[in-house]
Structure 1
Amino acid sequence: MSRGVFVGIATVDVVHRLERPLRPNEKVTALRQDISAGGPAANAAVVFARLGGDATLVTALGRHPLARFAAEDLARHGVTVRDAAPDVVEPPAVSVIQVIDETGDRQVSSVNAGAFWARYPAQPPGGITDGADVVLVDGHHPDLARAAVRAEAPVVLDGGSWKPVLSDLLPSVDYAVCSSAFPEPESLEVPRVAVTRGPDPIRWWAGPERGEVQVPSVVVRDTLGAGDAFHGAFAYALTTGASFVEALTTGARVAALRCSVVGPRAWLEQL
């Protein structure tokens, strides 16, 4: 069984599905509510596990009831959590998310991991990447990420946005899979780089080689976590011997499926 280690943030996601975006000072009744664990590394680990891999998430959660909820949700989906801050009693980051019913577009607000890690810079658990076939970092817990990229396994960067710690991580990254919001990905000195662009073709380059991967066309119902799904599927494909382009193709297929189904977890049943 392929083993993937995912290093980064775990949140509690509160998702409301709305008919339309809210106007200032407006109150509405949501069409639907979902609550689950979230975060780039956590969601990618869920997908890796669903595809048949052995997924471990290295993060900082603590023992607040909300943190326990997130850990239990991840465990239900086959993810082993290694908590670098098990004794912290403060709540973890909560992401507040609105998804618009007609378009599937989402708006997300979160405090992310910065303040939590600044107050509780726990030491990374020992041997966090032992036996890994692939390691993914999202950069949200810098000390954990710095420890993880020392792995002998291929290292994948979830480049959702620029973070200061990336200056330390990039020399050890083998694959950088970035969103279109990532600044100047062409300048990254990484062996293989890809940029996802929503429904538009994925751009990739590996040294002098360049190309594009087409994204399957679907009726978009919910874009929340689509990039995370892509990263989890990409990482899993690498562990099966897939080439860079083949892994990107797998990621695109899985992300498109995720966009076609309402809700943060329901789509997994079709994977």
Structure 2
Amino acid sequence: MVEIKNPEQIAKMREAGLVVAAMHAACAEAAQPGVSTKELDEIAAKVLADHGARPNFLGYGGFPGNICTSVNDVVVHGIPDRETVLASGDVISIDAGAIVDGWHGDAAITVFVGSGHRPELLELSRVTEESMWAGIAAMRRGNRLVDVSKAIEGYIRRQPRPSSGKYGIIEDYGGHGIGSAMHMDPHLLNYVDRRRGKGPKLVPGLCLAIEPMVSLGTPRTHVLDDEWTVKTDDGSWSSHWEHSVALTEAGPLVLTAPDGGRAKLAELGVEAAPDPLG
């Protein structure tokens, strides 16, 4: 069943979301050449402790990190370690989560390390992030879950093709409900699969983690022997962006964006809901 939150519960999720935003800010600043992904994990742990929050990744299904650090052709679920040291030109997805009073926040950003990045990688990240925002803008009362999927896929398909020939929308992973647990119903595809139907109606109190993952090649992936790290089958590099979003009576509230999504949604002609924390 889909969990519907009341305004007080959404306010708690907003608190968790702001902790996630702080984790991202600290890790993005620290993601420099010569820094290991384990050092980023330790920075994230300190932010959590400073805010009195708990990690929702650490121990989840046995996952050993506070964050996921996915570098280059790793799409998601990269494990932080001392051996993976960032170099100039790398691209890293930092997926972070926090729990405040039992309520979850979850978001991911793509960060460019150092300099010398190929223009097509910069464009890949832009396309992935903008497709996420297109999905967020589709979180409107009266829409259905498939409308979010359609908005994400539609944005990506409308973009000029990269030199690799195509953008691969990752098929095996997608967004999800979020609230009293990190992963909940409904599962959100980043493309339209008509066999799955239209999905549930979007109603106030529904919260989704909207997270497109896009590669410069195949949409297909495989999991490494550590049973976590997900790589593209063809070695193409990827981008991953995610926000946790609540649909309220007043519209969407981006729980993991510092401004609640107000500025970006305004660009798209959508008014963000008021921030319950002021």
Structure 2 length-normalised TM = 0.27
Higher share in strand? 1
Higher relative contact order (CA 8 A, sep 6+): 2
Structure 1 length-normalised TM = 0.28
